Structure 1
């Protein structure tokens, strides 16, 4: 049984203050709405995926390396307080942790969430450039050269993947994403 759609609305209300925190130029509610729209337009959005979207970046600290883990704990605690069954919470937690982008998604739900999270890489050039500028804002505390070296490593890591998108629904973004990543690395 999937969660009641009313729970998704409650999750949105719970999550919005997190996404409105200062310093979020990209990892904000607009990013979540974009993910939801990407999943909806591909006719794969489920209440569980919607919940995972709202929970995946509750914590975003550009200085930390455990944002997804902390987000998963906070959101799981909230879901538990809402009476969501443990097996549903486990799936949602796994989806959130998959957005660390450190391993291949373990199942289709995780793959869809990860692909939606990375859909921005396959956006048109102007939208990708705005995303890239917003990421730089979130890392404003990092000196220029150090940021460029770190960003280059991240972008090269994405390019080194055999495929950026694991699901057929998002596979059409692959070529544009690779073009955007190569173009950014050249600049």
Structure 2
């Protein structure tokens, strides 16, 4: 299957997952924003596009293994489409990089992670909408517990030496730090 056909098939396969009712942020708009951010910077490759479509395929706010499950499910789907084993493995590794547990190991991983975190550096109104959507996805968590957990996540990004590791996204750094500090102060 050629790249364009595989990308079209991936989009058709993934869209129903991203349309699930419990998704307020991790939905098709998030995927499209990532694709747009990578394309606007001239770095969107077929592997990155596939990884973007697959990275939040499985999203359960109560689970801690969404990326691993997404990599597995999307990888099996890619293999079923006849994608080369190397591409399947590459996309799965890219998806796992969006766990944000370690610094990206490759430039491609860094670009994907930076695109995934692009919302942190958005203008304040868009960041506030993102923050509200995340709270909606975690509405099952009582307020005090949510504030503790959210503060820990946001502070973890703020504590990094650099939030964005690629030159293409470095311009978002100052706004991301301001947004994160503001959100933490409101918790």
With normalisation by structure 1, the TM-score equals 0.98
Superposed, 1:17-96 pairs within 5 Å as 17-96=16-95
Retained in 2: the 8 A contact 1:164–1:174?
yes
Retained in 2: the 8 A contact 1:25–1:135?
yes
The corresponding residue for 1:119 is 118
CA distance in 1, matches of 2:158, 2:64: 21
The corresponding residue for 1:172 is 171
Per-residue deviation, 1:36: 0.2
Give 5+ residue unaligned stretches, structure 2.
Answer: none
CA distance in 1, matches of 2:125, 2:34: 18
The two structures, once aligned, show a CA RMSD in angstroms of 1.0
Per-residue deviation, 1:88: 1.0
Retained in 2: the 8 A contact 1:3–1:84?
no
Name the SS for the 1:116 alignment partner. helix
CA distance in 1, matches of 2:75, 2:181: 37
Name the SS for the 2:67 alignment partner. helix
Name the SS for the 2:117 alignment partner. helix
Name the SS for the 1:51 alignment partner. helix
The corresponding residue for 2:143 is 144
CA distance in 2, matches of 1:170, 1:161: 15
Which of structure 1's runs of 4+ aligned residues deviate more than 4 A? none
Name the SS for the 1:104 alignment partner. coil
